[in-house]
Structure 1
Amino acid sequence: MQSADQLVRSVYDRIAERYDDRWGRHMRQPQDRLTAGLALLPGARCVDIGCGTGTETVEMLRQVAPGEVVGVDCSEEMLRAARARAASAGLKLSTRRADAEAFLRRAEASSFDVVTLRFCLAYLEWGAALPCLGRIVRPGGRVGILSNLSSSTPQAYAIYCQMADELDLGRVKLPVPDSAGQVSEALERGGLCTVEAWTHRFRLWFGSGAQVAGWLQESGFVTHAALREFPPEVLQPLCDEFATRLEAYRELEGIPLDFELAGVIAVRP
């Protein structure tokens, strides 16, 4: 049986080629806003944790040249795509395959001018991990966080809760912050001062409940370890029932999924 970390890694290895189309393209505005807030300077040393296919990692690399950006991700296929993206831009990207928490534990103190974590808070104990960022960023350096909030995909979460109650499985609380304020508070416990905090909301439309269910899996949005407890012959009927119930949310434009993201920029005095 796969561990939780192995499950996450295998999901992102599988979807790496489709990730930008399923998820990354919807993130352009908040990603660009976070990168702009980092106030990057030539010669800086940066690390982008949860770099994915490297869309923003390569932009960071352009802005800090001849400095360095280290792209960190648990998926080797994601890192492969990030390196290829950098190479096509005539740049060389340093990469590390590591889980976010493992990388934070091993990173040297005051070793980076800029540290970013993009969409990986769901895969670590973020309340304990975020204060650790103050240790690895240099004085005057910046930290940038971009994360889904627990208010995202309320339509899908409501149906999950219904089915969990009916099957007496017990509900799982979404493992992400409730607000940008919670992210700021955790960073401040590590000696960082928030200079900007914001939320970004958007809606995706789908033609059917089956399309929603498929997207949740193919985008990497659903990678919970509980999924590995179910054999395929049990999981597929549950997914089918989940898709059917999503039809209750149908509007004229289709079936919506709502998202709310938090972006936070903090500085180490």
Structure 2
Amino acid sequence: MVSTLQVAPSNAEQARTWDGREGAYWAEHADRFDRALGPYRTRLLAAADASADDVLDIGCGTGETTRDVARQASGGLALGVDLSAAMLRVARRRAAGEGLHNADFVQADAQVHAFSPASFDVAVSRTGTMFFADPVTAFRNIGGALRPGGRLVQLVWQPPTGNEWLLSFTRALAAGRPSPPPPPPPDAPGPFSLADPARVRRVLGAAGFTDIQLEPHSEVMWFGEDAADAERFVLGLHGWMLDDLDAEGRRRAVDDLRTTLTAHETEDGVRYASATWIIRATRP
């Protein structure tokens, strides 16, 4: 549970999740998550283009992107913010181990945190901005932390149809149910809340950003050395979907998951297609 952290009431559930079980799991498996998203790393850093800038990393998790931009911005500061104390402990330890004295980390809800006004040149996020309950308020707050002409650069997921990995996992784990659960509303906090370009433009425009651009990218993501390795990882991440199933339902779901993971085994591990947007916008 979050105790001293200031959180927007609308983000309270996200805080409980990320500063609880889910954040702890991401912290424990930091290398795995970084490897899964690794194919997007070079493009995101090129888009951030943070040489000698002061950079704000939103939803920094265990800090790989913060450390990357700290190396880019050798003459500036890289500040990572996240709701998860467990992930931030990993981030601080790794930055210290790499001798990155210009990387710092704060546990904060970026929707309401009192950032120093106009103190950053770039705000960047690797899949960390899709979970705001009130995204207009959140992006307006982030925009206030940027200097005039400052840039916002985000990596977010495209719609589910382009993300074979999540469709395959959730369909398999729903196999033990009489009917699949209904999808969340498209504007609800979650992986696909910024998947619709029209909504992205509405949200960022309402938050005061201009020159909003979306650039599509598709990559193959890695989820484990083999099906058994990937199964342990995916069940740790999405196993909550089995919590209310009986023994037969759980067996069917796990069998379906094992089938799809086995079908995606390659010489380079278990791999699935994925698709993202790199979103760029400017604070006037």
TM-score by length of 2: 0.73
Amino acid aligned to 2:184? V
Q: Distance in 2 between matches of 1:183 and 1:172?
A: 18
- Corresponding residue for 1:5? 15
Aligned residues: 256
Do the aligned partners of residues 189 and 64 (structure 1) sit closer, same or farther apart at CA in structure 2, a change above 3 Å counting? Answer: same
Deviations 1:216-247, CA, capped at 9 Å, x for gaps: 354x5x49xxx49947xx58765543221235
Amino acid aligned to 2:283? R
Instruction: After superposing the two structures, state which structure 1 stretch, 68-77 or 128-137, moved more.
Output: 128-137
Structure 2 portions without partners, runs of 5+: 3-12
1:1-269 aligned within 5 A: 3-10=13-20, 11-20=22-31, 22-42=32-52, 44-92=53-101, 93-103=103-113, 106-125=114-133, 127-128=135-136, 129-151=138-160, 152=163, 153-159=166-172, 163=176, 166=178, 170-173=182-185, 175=190, 176=192, 177-179=194-196, 182-190=199-207, 191-195=209-213, 197-204=215-222, 207-208=226-227, 212-218=230-236, 220=237, 222=238, 227=240, 230=243, 234=245, 239-247=250-258, 249=260, 251=263, 253=265, 257-269=272-284
Structure 1 residue 163: deviation in Å?
Answer: 4.9
Do the aligned partners of residues 239 and 98 (structure 1) sit closer, same or farther apart at CA in structure 2, a change above 3 Å counting? Answer: farther
Instruction: After superposing the two structures, state which structure 1 stretch, 128-137 or 142-151, moved more.
Output: 128-137
Q: Distance in 1 between matches of 2:99 and 2:231?
A: 38
Do the aligned partners of residues 138 and 193 (structure 1) sit closer, same or farther apart at CA in structure 2, a change above 3 Å counting? Answer: same
CA contact (8 A) 1:53 1:82 kept: yes
CA contact (8 A) 2:70 2:77 kept: yes
Instruction: After superposing the two structures, state which structure 1 stretch, 52-61 or 146-155, moved more.
Output: 146-155
Q: CA RMSD in A?
A: 3.4
Do the aligned partners of residues 256 and 17 (structure 1) sit closer, same or farther apart at CA in structure 2, a change above 3 Å counting? Answer: closer
Do the aligned partners of residues 182 and 67 (structure 1) sit closer, same or farther apart at CA in structure 2, a change above 3 Å counting? Answer: same
Structure 1 portions without partners, runs of 5+: none
Structure 1 residue 150: deviation in Å?
Answer: 3.6
Identity %: 23
Do the aligned partners of residues 238 and 135 (structure 1) sit closer, same or farther apart at CA in structure 2, a change above 3 Å counting? Answer: farther
Structure 1 residue 97: deviation in Å?
Answer: 0.9
TM-score by length of 1: 0.77
CA contact (8 A) 1:180 1:197 kept: no
Amino acid aligned to 1:5? A
Q: Distance in 2 between matches of 1:32 and 1:149?
A: 18
CA contact (8 A) 1:50 1:74 kept: yes
Larger RCO (CA under 8 A, 6+ residues apart)? 1
